[in-house]
Amino acid sequence: MTSRHLVAHRSFLVVFSLGAVLRVITMVGFAPTLWFNDSYDYVRIALDPFPHPIRPAGYGIFLWLLKPFHSLTLVMALQHLMGLGIGVAIYVLLRRYGLPAWGATLAAAPVLLDAYQIQLEQMALSDTLFLFLVVCAFTILMWPRQHRPPALGWCALAGLLLALATLTRAIGLPVLLLTLGVLVLWRVGWRRLGVVAVAGMLPLAAYTAWFHAENGQYALTRTDGVFLWGRTAEFAECAKIKPPPDLAALCPPGEPGKRRASSNQVWHEHSPIGWTYGEVFSPELNDRAMRFALDAIKAQPLDYVQAVLYGATVRTFWVTRSPYPTAYVTDLYEFPEHPKPPPGWAVYGGGTPASVTAEYEQGPAATHAVEPFATVMRGYQQVAYLPGIVLAGILLLPAVPWWRRRRRGGADGGAEAGRPGRSRVLMPFGGAVALLAVPPITTDFDYRYVLVAVPLACLATGLAFATGRPGSAGPSVAPLPGVQTPEPEHQF
């Protein structure tokens, strides 16, 4: 990259550099990693890979691939590089579609600078890997401009990445299905659509066969019924549901409105589900929970819709954060002043949090805060984050250019002035909406689920305002190297 290009992209380079520095401070301040309840299951999978009944094994296998290094610091470094890579992908893709450098930088800034994004990257959780895989797949499919379809090899790679994302977090399945629907709208042809579908579905089929061999059923997890029960346990009234005798024991205690959060209904020690640490949900219990949940939705559809909408709108887009689903959980999403020692519960598959993490690390793996770096990031997190109300604005902004063109009587954006059109915007926008909406529908709202939707929402908004012509912002903004020339047909 020449000095001219460095000047042209200086705003992004400043933001990128600041994001990199913040990540280094985080790694030094909270070594070797930050832990969440789910983390210990993933590490247990990494010690001896198996299809976990509760969590897809993708992230555990990612840890297993890195196990020979016995370094959670290395894992965190890779996750921080993924976060930086997501920011670069957003910027480069938006510049390719003609957005000015300052606009593309603004779109990439939330993933690069948001303290909660950085904190999530420092946790031994699947979310960062999941988002990285999705953004890579979307970038591949959206790279050809002017509605030229990607080559078959790139379609296969995109489908494979979406399959790996689904094996990392099950919510990747609706994202994969949505992507196939968008490709139909793009009219990429049946061959390309079929390649993405086959590359996306074959790994899932192989995983479900493995899951069946170990757990006795064809599935990605054995929790869909239990989690949907938790969703309905917030409002379910057995006087209205009138469950049969074999389901009556699943009636949640307490009055609606005074009960625990939906997700907490599953895990607390007095739950009718009867879960304890180190155990998993049986197929029979999962089936019974699904039947109860479906009966509750049929008997109380308005209560279900209200619970879903409240989580998908009010909780998601509120100005401030609340201690939901519990103060214990939301505290784990903050940089800690005094990191807690590993809990003493049992881990499914054998061992305790302390033993499985020590085996993976080949030494103590408890988080320790290093000053003054930890204090810097705690202070930074108090001010540098994206409020929910701002995310709501980002999701609404793509309607502005479309509305303006409609007022002028213009076409639907695709051909007008070479713009990407709504079909291009639809892939990241639909992905963001799916990531925000599916959890409140199937399980519950959670703040870390919102974080993975933010980069896709920013990408969609940037595309909505892009011109479709690289370098079209004027002579003062140079295009990225190479993108100003006519692009050849893709080869793989």
Share of the chain above pLDDT 90, in %: 82
Share of the chain above pLDDT 70, in %: 91
Helix, strand or coil for residue 133?
helix
Q: Report how far residue 395's alpha carbon sits from residue 402's, in angstroms, rounded to the nearest whole number.
A: 13
Q: What is the dihedral of CA 423, 316, 126, 180, to 10 degrees?
A: -20
Residue 480, domain member (yes or no): no
Average pLDDT value for residue range 325-339: 95
Residue 346, domain member (yes or no): yes
Task: Provide the pLDDT for residue 422.
Answer: 54
Residue 478, domain member (yes or no): no
Task: Provide the pLDDT for residue 410.
Answer: 52
Average pLDDT value for residue range 368-396: 97
Q: Report how far residue 171's alpha carbon sits from residue 175's, in angstroms, rounded to the nearest whole number.
A: 7
Count Cβ atoms below 10 Å from residue 381 Cβ, excluding itself: 18
Of the pLDDT bands very low, low, confident and very high (cuts 50, 70, 90), residue 481 is very low
Which tens digits make up the pLDDT trace of 89-102? 999 999 999 999 99
Quick check: 293 and 228 in contact, CB under 8 A?
A: yes
Phi, psi for 34 (deg, rounded to 5) = -105, 145
What is the maximum alpha-carbon separation in the chain?
75
Residue-averaged pLDDT of the chain: 90
Give the H or E element holding residue 369.
Answer: strand 368-369
Q: Do 37 and 172 sit in the same domain of this protein?
A: yes
Q: Do 278 and 376 sit in the same domain of this protein?
A: no
Phi, psi for 148 (deg, rounded to 5) = -75, 130
Q: Do 313 and 459 sit in the same domain of this protein?
A: no
Average pLDDT value for residue range 263-286: 88
- Region of poorest pLDDT, from 207-221, 446-460, 474-488: 474-488
Q: Do 48 and 147 sit in the same domain of this protein?
A: yes
Final residue of a domain: which of 274, 290, 317? 317
Residue 268, domain member (yes or no): yes
As for how many domains the chain has, the answer is 2
Contacts with 279 (C-beta within 8 Å, 6 or more apart), sequence order: 348
Task: Provide the pLDDT for residue 420.
Answer: 47
Tell me the helix, strand and coil percentages in the chain, rounded to 5: 60, 0, 35
Angle subtended at Cα 343 by Cα 320 and Cα 55, rounded to the nearest 5 degrees: 70
Which tens digits make up the pLDDT trace of 147-184? 678 899 999 999 999 999 999 999 999 999 999 999 99
Task: Provide the pLDDT for residue 472.
Answer: 43
Q: Do 373 and 431 sit in the same domain of this protein?
A: yes
Which tens digits make up the pLDDT trace of 430-451? 999 999 999 999 999 999 999 9
- Region of poorest pLDDT, from 119-128, 168-177, 237-246, 399-408: 399-408
Residue 482, domain member (yes or no): no
Q: Report how far residue 297's alpha carbon sits from residue 491's, in angstroms, rounded to the nearest whole number.
A: 50
Residue of 67, 109, 2 whose CA lies nearest to 454: 109
Average pLDDT value for residue range 427-432: 96
Q: Do 22 and 132 sit in the same domain of this protein?
A: yes
Q: Do 237 and 286 sit in the same domain of this protein?
A: yes
Task: Provide the pLDDT for residue 415.
Answer: 39
Average pLDDT value for residue range 92-114: 96
Phi, psi for 320 (deg, rounded to 5) = -115, 165
Q: Do 201 and 160 sit in the same domain of this protein?
A: yes
Residue 477, domain member (yes or no): no
Q: Do 24 and 157 sit in the same domain of this protein?
A: yes
Task: Provide the pLDDT for residue 409.
Answer: 64
Average pLDDT value for residue range 133-145: 94
Quick check: 193 and 184 in contact, CB under 8 A?
A: yes
Q: Do 198 and 235 sit in the same domain of this protein?
A: no
Quick check: 433 and 391 in contact, CB under 8 A?
A: no
Average pLDDT value for residue range 51-80: 98
Residue 278, domain member (yes or no): yes
Q: Helix H segments across 143-282?
A: 152-168, 172-186, 190-215, 224-233, 238-241, 262-267
Burial class (CB in 10 A: 0-12, 13-18, 19+), 475: exposed
Helix, strand or coil for residue 492?
coil
Task: Provide the pLDDT for residue 492.
Answer: 31
Q: Do 170 and 34 sit in the same domain of this protein?
A: yes
Q: Report how far residue 346's alpha carbon sits from residue 248's, in angstroms, rounded to the nearest whole number.
A: 29
- The amino acid present at 54, given as its one-letter code, is I
End-to-end CA distance of the chain: 25
- Residue 1 scores a pLDDT above 90: no
Of the pLDDT bands very low, low, confident and very high (cuts 50, 70, 90), residue 279 is confident
Task: Provide the pLDDT for residue 4.
Answer: 72
Residue 451, domain member (yes or no): yes
Q: Do 309 and 384 sit in the same domain of this protein?
A: no
- Residue 457 scores a pLDDT above 90: yes
Task: Provide the pLDDT for residue 416.
Answer: 40
Q: Alpha carbon of 111 to those of 88, 105, 114, 128, 132: distances in Å?
A: 10, 11, 6, 11, 11
Quick check: 312 and 446 in contact, CB under 8 A?
A: no
Q: Does pTM top 0.85 for this prediction?
A: yes
Residue range of the domain that includes 298: 224-317
Segment 78-83 long-range contacts (CB within 8 Å, at least 24 positions apart): 79/121, 79/122, 79/128, 79/129, 80/23, 80/26, 80/27, 80/118, 80/121, 80/122, 82/121, 82/128, 82/129, 82/131, 82/132, 83/19, 83/23, 83/111, 83/112, 83/117, 83/118, 83/121, 83/128, 83/132
Average pLDDT value for residue range 339-353: 94
- Residue 476 scores a pLDDT above 70: no
Which tens digits make up the pLDDT trace of 123-132? 999 999 999 9
